[in-house]
Chain A
Amino acid sequence: MAEGILDASNLNGGQRLAVKYFTVAVVLFVAQIVFGLLAAQQYITPSFLFETLNFNVTRLIHIDAMIVWMLFGFLGSVYWLLEEESGSPVVGLRLGNLIFWVLTAAVTVVVLVFLFIQYGPGTWFTIWFINEGREYIEAPRWADIGIVIGLTVFFYNVVATFMRGRWTGIGRVLALDLIALGGLYVAGMFFTPDLTIDQFWWWWVIHLWVEATWEVLVGCIVAWGLMKTLGVRRSIVTTWLYIEVALMFGAGILGLGHHYFWIGTPEYWLWIGGFFSALEPIPLVAMVVHAVYDSGVHRLKSSNHPATAWFIAQAFGNFLGAGVWGFMQTLPQVNLYTHGTQWSASHGHLAFFGAYATINIAIFYLAVQQWRGNVWMGSDLPGSGWKWKWSLGLMNGGMLGMAVALLIAGYVESFLERAQMGSTWQAYFAAQTHPWFTSAMWWRQFFGVMMAVGMVLLVWDLATIGRHETRRAERPEPEATAGEPATA
C-alpha cells in the first residue's frame, strides 16, 4: 500500500470507480460556479454576452451542471461505501465502469449542444436531441433515456452486491430509495400541451428527487460517514436513519403539494401542501441533533477533520437552507407573494449547497484520504490545514451571503411588484430597477466571487492534502458496543 501518493492500489474496486465519478463531479462543480458567475453578471450588466451566451444558456448550464455533479457525487459515494458496507466486491463492476464512461460522454455531448446549438424549432427533433426546455430537466430525451439506463445499472450493482454480501439497514434503505430515484425520473419524460399536467408531473421529478429521495440518499451516506469518521455505533446511525426516513417521507411526499398551489390544481392542495411542507424541517432538525450529538460524544475526535467539518456543515446547511429558508415561504398565504421571485433563488442556492454540495465535499475528502493510502488527516496537518479551513469558511460564508442578498432582492419583488403594483410587467421591471434590488445583485456577485475563491482553494486542497504524508490515519474509537460491529 503506497502512502502519500494517489495510488489506485489503495482502493477497492468500487472505490476506483467512485473516484472517477468524483473527478467528473468536481469538474462540473467548477463549471457550475463559473456559469453562475456569468449569469449573476448578466443581472448587473444585461448586455454582457447578449446574443452570444444569453442568460437562458448560462443559467441552464449553471443549474444542470449542479444536478449532474451532485448526482455523480452521490453515485460515487455509494460505490465508495458499497464494498465495505456489504462485505462483498461490487457485482457487475465492469458494467458499472462502462456506464460511467457512457454517462460522462453523454453529459459532454449535452453540454456542447447547450453551448453551441442552444435552442431549436418547436419540433420533436428539438425535444429529442437539443433541449427539452423544462427547468432542471432540459436534457434532451435521448439523454433522459441514458440516465434511466445508467440508474438501472447502478441499482443492479448496489442490490446484487448487497445480495452477495450482507444486507444492512443502510443497504436496505439505499436499495428502496434507488428504486424511487430511478422510477420518479420517468415521470418527467413525456410531452403534453397541457402546462398544468406538465408541471404536475415535472414536480414529481424535481420535488420528489430533491426533497425526498436525495435527502434519504444523503441520510444513508451521512450514516455511513459518521461511523467511518467518528466511530459512531451502527445501531445508533441505523435507528436515526429510519427516523429520518419516516419523517422525511412522512412530510416530504405530500409536501409536494406546496408546488401545486398555483399551477391549476384544486384548492385543497393549499391545505395539504401548506401543512405537510411546514413539517418538512422536522427531519432536518433531527439530522442536526444527530450530527451534533455524535460529534460531541466523540469530542470531535475524528480520523478526517475536513470531512467531519463538512459533515457538520451539511447538518446545519441542510437545516438552514432547506428547512428554515423553505419554511419561510412554504405557507400559501406567504407563497402567493414570493412564488416566482428571488425568494426561490435564495432558498434554492442555500438548500442545494447546504444539503448536497457539503456532503459530497465531505466524501471527496474521505476519498482522497484513502486514495493516498489512508493517511493522517486529523489535527496537526501541514500549515494547520489552512486550505481546507479557508475554503470551508469562504464557501459557506459566500453561499450564506448570496442567499441573504437574493432574499433582500426577493423582498423587493414581493412588496413592490406583487403587493403594491399588481404583478404586471411594468411592476416586474419597477422591482428589478429598484436600488434595493440592483444593490442586492451586486452583493450577490461579491459573495459569489468569495465562493469561487473558496472553490479554487478546495480544488487545490483536494489535489494536495495528504501528499508526502507518512503518518497513518487515526482509527476512530468505537463506542462501547453490545455485540455488534462499530463500523462496517
Chain B
Amino acid sequence: MAQNQAWWASERFWRAAAVLITGGMAVALIFLTIDTYPAMEPGGSKVPPYTVINKRIDYQYSDKAKHEVPVIGGEAPLFGKERSPAEAKAMVTKGKMIVQGRNCMDCHTLLGNGAYFAPDLTKSWLDPGWGSPRVRESMMVHFLENPPKYGRGYGSDRRMPDLGISKQEAHAIVAFLKWMSAIDTNGFPANFHSIRQ
C-alpha cells in the first residue's frame, strides 16, 4: 500500500509542508510586527502622543479614509492644566494602571476587547451623554467617584459598583480615557455620534 501512495498523500511530504509553512508564517509575522511597531507607539501614525490630553479631540468622517477618524484640534488642557510630555505620560500611565487594578475590562470593553456587560470605553470621552464639553470633566469625575449615585442606566437596571475611586484616581482615569479616544481605530466604532463641541 505504501509503495502505491501518491507523493502528495505521504507522511514525508506533509511533515516538510508543516515545517516550511509554520516557519514561513512565523517569519512573516515577525516582519509585519517590526513594520507595525512604529505606528503603534505614542506619537506614531495611529496612536497619539500622551500630550494629546492637552488638546481638543473630535471624531469625524474622513472623505479620504472613508470612515471616522480622530481629529486633534487646538488647546484644551485636561482639568485646565497644560501638562509636559513627562507629566502627561505619568498621568495616562496612572490611569491605565487603575483601570487594570479595578478590573474594568471584565465589565467594559477597551478598543472593543473585554466584557460586554457595560458600554465600550474606546470613545467614552467623546460620548454625547456627557452633555457638553464644558461640564464633561466634572461629570466624569463625579461619576467615577460615586457610580451608583451618578451613573446613568438609560432605562436599564445595570449600575456600576462603587470601586472606591478617589478624586485623584478619577482624574488619572479620565486622562487615560481622553488619550484612548484619540487612537485611530480604523473607523471603530462605526457611525459614532460624537459630543457636540
Contact = CB atoms under 8 A, between A and B. Distances in A.
B21 A264 contact: no
Contact of B189 (A47, A196, A423, A429): A423
A241 B195 CA distance: 54
A336 B188 contact: yes
A95 interface: no
Nearest to A43: B117
A239 B14 contact: yes
B39 interface: yes
A199 B21 CA distance: 26
A340 B158 CA distance: 18
A135 B154 contact: no
A197 B185 contact: no
Contact of B105 (A122, A135, A191, A430): A135
Interface in A229-261: 235, 238-239, 242-243, 245-246, 249-250, 253-254, 256-257, 259-261
Contacts of B29: 253-254, 256
Contact of A424 (B45, B190, B192): B192
Given A56-B115, A197-B40, A270-B186, A169 B11 contact: yes
B40 A428 contact: no
A43 B117 CA distance: 7
Interface string A191-227: 1011111111010000000000000000000000000
Contacts of A260: 36
Given A55-B106, A265-B39, A336-B188, A193 B101 contact: no
Nearest to B195: A424
Interface in A93-122: 118-122
B167 interface: no
Contacts of A126: 97, 100-101
A246 to B, nearest CB: 4
A439 interface: no
Contacts of A264: 39-40, 46-47, 111, 183-185
A200 B39 CA distance: 12
Contacts of B93: 193
Interface stretch (B78-86, B121-129, B131-139): B121-129
Given A122-B97, A193-B92, A239 B113 contact: no
B186 A250 contact: no
Interface in B155-189: 155-159, 161-163, 169, 172, 176, 180, 183-189
Given A50-B159, A344-B116, A133 B32 contact: no
Interface string A137-149: 0100000000000
A336 B190 contact: yes
B169 A47 contact: no
Residue picked from B29, B46, B100, B123, most chain A C-beta under 10 Å: B100
B103 A118 contact: yes
Interface in B63-98: 89, 92-98
A418 interface: yes
Contacts of B119: 425, 428-429
A142 B105 CA distance: 20
Nearest to A131: B103
A415 to B, nearest CB: 12
Contacts of B116: 340-342, 344-345, 413
Interface residues of A, number: 89
Interface string A393-434: 000000000000000000001000011001111101110110
Contacts of B28: 253-254
A433 B188 contact: no
A50 B161 CA distance: 7
B193 interface: yes
A132 B26 CA distance: 28
B40 A42 contact: no
Contacts of A57: 103, 106
Contacts of A371: none
Nearest to A60: B106
A199 B18 contact: no
Given A239-B14, A422-B192, A426-B154, A266 B159 contact: no
A272 interface: yes
Residue picked from B35, B89, B163, B191, most chain A C-beta under 10 Å: B191
A337 interface: yes
A164 interface: no
A269 interface: yes
Contacts of B102: 119, 122, 133
A247 B55 CA distance: 48
B92 A267 contact: no
Interface in B6-20: 9-11, 14-15, 17-18
Contacts of B107: 54-56, 59
Nearest to A193: B93
B62 interface: no
Contacts of A337: 190
Contact of A195 (B110, B123, B153, B184): B110
Given A122-B172, A432-B158, A339 B188 contact: yes
A468 interface: no
A123 B102 CA distance: 11
A263 interface: yes
B34 interface: no
Nearest to B172: A122
A423 B111 CA distance: 13
9 contacts: A121-B98, A194-B42, A195-B180, A266-B35, A270-B186, A423-B191, A428-B119, A429-B119, A482-B1
Given A122-B101, A339-B112, 6 more contacts: A42-B117, A131-B100, A134-B105, A254-B28, A266-B35, A428-B120
The 8 A-B residue pairs with the shortest CB-CB distance in the complex, in nearest-first order:
A133-B100, A122-B98, A340-B112, A262-B188, A429-B154, A122-B97, A423-B189, A56-B106
Interface of A: 42-43, 45-47, 50-51, 54-57, 59-60, 118-124, 126-127, 130-135, 138, 169, 173, 191, 193-200, 202, 235, 238-239, 242-243, 245-246, 249-250, 253-254, 256-257, 259-267, 269-270, 272, 336-337, 339-342, 344-345, 413, 418-419, 422-426, 428-430, 432-433, 480, 482
